[in-house]
Amino acid sequence: MHDIVDLRSDTLTLPTPEMREAMARAEVGDDVWEEDPTVKRLEAMAAERLGKEAGLFVASGTMGNLVSVVSHTQAGQEVVLDLDSHIFNYEVAGSAVIGSVQMRPVKTARGFLAPEQVREALRPPNIHIPQTGLVCIENTHNRHGGTCCTPEEIGAVAAVAHGANVPVHLDGARLFNAAVALRRDAREFTRDVDSVTFCVSKGLGAPVGSVVCGSRAFITRARRVRKMVGGGMRQAGVIAAAGVVALETMVDRLAEDHANARRLAEGIAKLPGLTVDLQSVQTNIVIFGVQRPAGPSATQTATNEIVTGCAARKVKVHAIGPTSIRCVTHKDVDAEDIERALDALREITSRW
């Protein structure tokens, strides 16, 4: 049980004592000179876990996606991706600014491109038309509430892209959540993609960082781009050390977060004025809708009332739209905390 139940994001996780200790003891060197043994260790571990030749430690998931897009493409090319994807919506158009690529967002049913959609989006050779440079996939899908796609679905999309000589990047910020939820080896999700980024700073609990993995040649290019965007860090082993602990000790426990998210979602589904699609609760994210039956406090929207009412009861939740709220479970939220969150929601909605 924690004093404050913080369900706003799994990025709010604090490093474990074991991580702090590993950070204090980390052997370090200048990583731009490729002389930091702890960074190298994390990169090698990540590459091994994802069945790729090499890894590159970056400051964030956003940086990982940016260096990946820029390393795969040339200026003026087009990147095919889902309309609700993180890269298209939440990365400050970095790929357009730094990579000079054009985004080709495609509206999808569940956040995952279907093979036919990729086939339709691929550009034919024609002097008037931008050429397709990359296809991006996201797993788990953030905006769709942590939903998973299977290795087979990824394989089908990759087959179409590769048939046109177009590489595929997987934004796997929460890839290990998908692997744990579907009980599949993480390598199966990455087998058919050319590059992948995952965050150690979310559910895995490390304070900083993501790792990009791919072929040795790709990582060599990505290392140059990382330097270009100011991501060449020096004694970065101090932070990479926590990432090593994250990969070693924090992956399997993600199942607890998924169980807590399910408990939370099932509780929310029973409350008046709140709606949740239980099928979409597959990992550690619960997105619920708020629809108060006409009530007295006309000045305050129901969504606001939930956010402020929860905060007054030491439960933090995050509104992601005028009528929707997102809760994310993580290692610093336990089963008792979930009950407290449900008690808070029950109290607030009981007055509606």
Ligand X SMILES: *Cc1c(COP(=O)(O)O)cnc(C)c1O
Q: List residues near ligand X by CB under 6 A.
A: 60-62, 65, 86, 138, 142, 171, 173-174, 199, 201, 210
Q: Cβ closer to ligand X: 85 or 349? A: 85
**CA 248/CA 284 separation, integer angstroms:** 20
CA dihedral 236, 241, 242, 247 (to 10 degrees): 120
Q: Cβ closer to ligand X: 49 or 202? A: 202
Which one-letter amino acid corresponds to residue 223? Answer: R
Least Å from the CB of residue 275 to ligand X: 23
Classify each residue of 287-319 as buried b or exposed e, where b means 16 or more C-beta atoms within 10 Å of its C-beta.
Answer: bbbbebeeeeeeeeebbebbbebbeebebbbeb
**Is the backbone of residue 330 left (phi > 0), alpha (psi -120 to 50) or beta?**
beta
Least Å from the CB of residue 60 to ligand X: 3
Q: Which residue is nearest to ligand X (CB)?
A: 61
Q: Cβ closer to ligand X: 206 or 306? A: 206
Q: Cβ closer to ligand X: 16 or 62? A: 62
Q: Cβ closer to ligand X: 46 or 199? A: 199
Least Å from the CB of residue 201 to ligand X: 6
CB atoms within 10 A of CB 119: 14
CB atoms within 10 A of CB 340: 19
Q: Cβ closer to ligand X: 86 or 263? A: 86
Which one-letter amino acid corresponds to residue 172? Answer: G
Enter the DSSP assignment of 152.
H
Least Å from the CB of residue 345 to ligand X: 24
Q: Cβ closer to ligand X: 12 or 271? A: 12
Least Å from the CB of residue 308 to ligand X: 25
Q: Cβ closer to ligand X: 65 or 329? A: 65
What secondary structure does DSSP assign to 247-280, as a single string? HHHSSTTHHHHHHHHHHHHHHHHTSTTEEE-GGG
Integer-rounded Cα radius of gyration of the chain: 21
Least Å from the CB of residue 48 to ligand X: 22
**CA 289/CA 262 separation, integer angstroms:** 16
Least Å from the CB of residue 210 to ligand X: 6
Least Å from the CB of residue 301 to ligand X: 26
Enter the DSSP assignment of 221.
H
What secondary structure does DSSP assign to 322-337, as a single string? TTEEEEE--TT--HHH
